[in-house]
Amino acid sequence: MRDAAFTRDGAALVAPMTLEIGEGERIARAFGSAREAAIAALMACGGVKASSGTLFVDGFDPKLQPTQCKRIAGYVPHELLPLEFDSFERYVDYRAALWSLDPASALARGRRLLAKLEGVHESFAYPLVGALLADPKLLVLDRPLAAFAPQMLAVARGRAIFSTHASIEDAAAWA
């Protein structure tokens, strides 16, 4: 991102920011509000297009190449996953279908990832596993819980990680 900002109806919701994340780097950034943090997280993975400035995800422009951006960046929302899936297997099948992954391979990978998230409630663990199934280069965490930082960072294994936070104290656990 270079001076990337997001505005809606003339109101600046995310001030211009410059951010470059290299392979294996972790960057945690605190924002003035939960709303600003959520929008910045979506911008970082190409889910929300910048209103001004430039934004590329591994060289791809989200305005022109949104599908490529989504293949590179795994996004984990702040909101708890509604446990509408009756099993982990059904959730992994759903996520595997989104990325055209082999269901059996995705389930095996998902189980390995979930095993590394011991102690993390499934409503937080499932979205992280789902984001990592396609083996993205970049993991974007929208306001993750600091209590789960050690497990989540361990399972992310050397990926570039961008996490957004609504306070400096929360960001410190992820930097």
Q: Tell me: the pLDDT tens digits for 50-101? A: 999 999 999 999 889 888 888 899 999 988 766 677 889 999 999 999 888 9
Domain definitions of the chain by residue range: 2-172
Predicted local distance difference test score (pLDDT) of residue 108: 97
Q: How far apart are the first and last CA of the chain?
A: 19
Count the alpha carbons within 13 Å of 111 in the hemisphere toward its beta carbon.
8
Tokens at 115, concatenated: 């095993």
- CATH of 2-172 given 3.30.450.20, 3.40.50.300, 3.30.360.10, 3.40.109.10: 3.40.50.300
Predicted local distance difference test score (pLDDT) of residue 82: 65
Helix (H, G, I), strand (E, B), or coil: what is residue 138? strand
Predicted local distance difference test score (pLDDT) of residue 81: 67
Provide the mean pLDDT of the chain. 90
Q: Tell me: the pLDDT tens digits for 13-31? A: 999 999 999 999 999 999 9
Cα–Cα nearest to 145, from 77, 47, 60, 63 = 77
Predicted local distance difference test score (pLDDT) of residue 122: 86
* Burial class of residue 58, CB neighbours in 10 A (0-12, 13-18, 19+): middle
Q: In angstroms, rounded to a whole number, what is the distance separating the alpha carbons of residues 132 and 109? A: 9
89 φ/ψ angles, rounded to the nearest 5 degrees: -60, -40
pLDDT average, residue stretch 108-132: 92
- pLDDT category at 146 given cuts 50, 70, 90 is confident
Predicted local distance difference test score (pLDDT) of residue 88: 92
- Residue 39 confidence (pLDDT) above 90: yes
